[in-house]
Amino acid sequence: MIATSQINRRRVLRGMLGGGAVSLALPFLDCFLNTNGSALASGASLPLCYGTWFWGLGLNPGRWEPKTAGKITEFGPETQPLTPYMSKVNVYSGMKVILDGRPMITHYTGDWAVLTGTTPREERVTIPTIDTLIGDVIGTKSRFRSLEVASTGNPTHSYSRRSGNVLNPAETSPPALYARIFGSEFKDPNAADFTPDPTVMARQSVLSAVKEQRADLLKTLGASDRARLDEYFTSLRQIEQQLDLELQKPAPMAACSVPGKVEDVKLGTEIDSVIGNHKLFAGLLSHALACGQTNVINVTFNDATSSLRKAGSSMTHHVYSHEEPVDNALGYQPNVTWFYMQIMQGLATMLETLDGVKEGDHTLLDRTLLLATTDTGWAKIHGLDDYPMITAGGANGRMKTGIHVVAKGDPATRVGLTVQQALGVPVNSWGTDSMQTSKAFTEVLA
């Protein structure tokens, strides 16, 4: 977590501003950073980061799990691309989504059950996803509470929501994400000078006027509208917090650098575009995390009903998953599996990018905990058993890594609970009905 600085910057700035623009040269490094850049000067660790990395259509059972339980020494054929990060990854096999008699909504039930802890009864999710629960703990002091991206070009390919009414839409364009993070409102945490913008203070006044209406509005609304209005005002508070932060000199982040501008790219579900955009997103998000702009990211490589396709092919990954026969000699669907390999290579790219950001003796991946999951077990049959769950990163030493955890049909929520506890969410039980669990995987908690 970001430690409270010895200097109360806000108070200093407010006193010095006097309502106008003043250029402040606050002491760089001397005050805020330790000598090797791996922690804040107070000795506190750099902030924890969390990410959900979502892919669609699961993996082939028996082909993604490491060969043995305990320390990972070899991945399964479909997770081979993760080999360079073997010591920083955990794999959880034998996980399951339990229906409890609810309808199986294909490519919907599994993803939302795993990410919310509750198997949905209908195509309407009313429970917050794990990233928002974690963001409420580790993401409150960053400029963006979270950043969502989808490499498929579709903003609805997001697997993050605060409630049933609020899907956090995904950015689909890397240039747009670049502009959002590193555009004119970006404050370089390592800049020597800091000039608070009086317009930001003016905007605060305006938002206060909006907020003043809340009580009057609530009086005129019915119950469900009140809940929706409260969600609006929650969002407003986050904007206010963003403005608050813009008036403070940000804590220096030694590994922060502004990436090069991203040019226009081709959007869509054609696999080369998806891989290319995902790589750009991975880079931008790593820079955003390293610069303290956010501590929570949500990455969609491909959607649950995977619309990935090869150029020139009439088939999508999803259509293949149902219509391609299992090759008797190989024992799996070759085209479906080809897409799996691209997806796992995508995950490897994400890990490579995070691990490539050096922060003293450690890397950005080391202070991150990434939960990689999907919508189904074996896609061919819309299976909910053998549900692939992978975590990566050590959460600043709170997670042991390099471990294959073997469960026996346990609810997949055990992984989500473990992740939350590792990141300091004060929760000892998560999920509902048969997906409810109070058993974190203590063998991976440091």
Partner 1 sequence: MKTMKLEGMTAKRKQGLRGSVAIVALALSLFGVSGVAKADGDVAAGPVAMRRLTQEQYRQIIADVFGPTVKLGGRFEPDVREAGLLAVGASQVSVTASGLEQYDSMARNIAAQVVDEQHRGLLIPCQPASATAPDDACAKQFLGKVGRLLFRRPLNDHELTAQVAAANAAAVKVKNFYSGLGLSLAGLMEAPQFLFRQEVVEPDPDNAGQYRLDAYSKATRLSFFLWNAAPDPELLAAAQSGDLNTQKGLNKQVDRMLASPRVEAGVRAFFTDMLGYDGFDTLAKDQTLYPKFTPKVLGDAQEQTLRTIVDHLLVQKADYRDLFTTHKTFLTPLLASIYRVPAVFPDGYQSTWIPYEYPKDAPQAGILTQASFVSLHSHPGRSSATIRGKALRQVLLCQKVPNPPGNVKFDIVQNTNDPNYKTARQRVKAHATQASCAGCHKIMDPVGLAFENFDTIGGFRTTENGADIDSSGELDGAKFTDVLGLGKAVHDNPAAASCIVNRVYEFGAGHQPTKPEAAWMAGDLQKAFVASGYKFPDLLKSVATSDVFYRATPLQTGALDTPTKLATDLNSQQETQK
Q: How far is the CB of 354 from partner 1 (least distance, A)?
A: 22
Using an 8 Å Cβ cutoff, are 87 and 351 in contact?
no
Distances (CA, A) of 302 to 170, 175, 277, 316: 12, 19, 11, 12
Candidate segments 68-76, 84-92, 149-157, 282-290, binder of partner 1 by CB under 8 A: 149-157
Rule CB under 8 A: choose which of 15, 43, 101, 222 binds partner 1. 222
Burial of 129 (0-12, 13-18, 19+ CB in 10 A): buried
Q: Is 265 in the site for partner 1 (CB under 8 A)?
A: no
Q: Is 62 in the site for partner 1 (CB under 8 A)?
A: no
How many Å apart are CA 151 and CA 300, to the nearest integer? 6
Pick between residue 23 and residue 223 the one whose CB is nearest to partner 1.
223
Using an 8 Å Cβ cutoff, are 3 and 40 in contact?
yes
Enumerate residues 370-399 that contact partner 1 by CB under 8 A.
380-384
How many Cα atoms occupy the beta-carbon half-sphere of 76 within 13 Å? 22
Q: How far is the CB of 281 from partner 1 (least distance, A)?
A: 15
Query: At how many degrees (to 10) do helices 271-290 and 174-182 cross?
Result: 10
Rule CB under 8 A: choose which of 62, 77, 175, 198 binds partner 1. 198
Q: How far is the CB of 376 from partner 1 (least distance, A)?
A: 9
Q: Is 275 in the site for partner 1 (CB under 8 A)?
A: no
Rule CB under 8 A: choose which of 4, 36, 87, 235 binds partner 1. 235
How many Å apart are CA 228 and CA 356, to the nearest integer? 41
Q: Is 136 in the site for partner 1 (CB under 8 A)?
A: no
Pick between residue 191 and residue 315 the one whose CB is nearest to partner 1.
315
Rule CB under 8 A: choose which of 24, 31, 191, 207 binds partner 1. 207
Q: How far is the CB of 39 from partner 1 (least distance, A)?
A: 29
Helix (H, G, I), strand (E, B) or coil at 95: strand
Enumerate residues 242-261 that contact partner 1 by CB under 8 A.
242
Q: Is 338 in the site for partner 1 (CB under 8 A)?
A: no
Beta pairing partners, 392: 89, 370
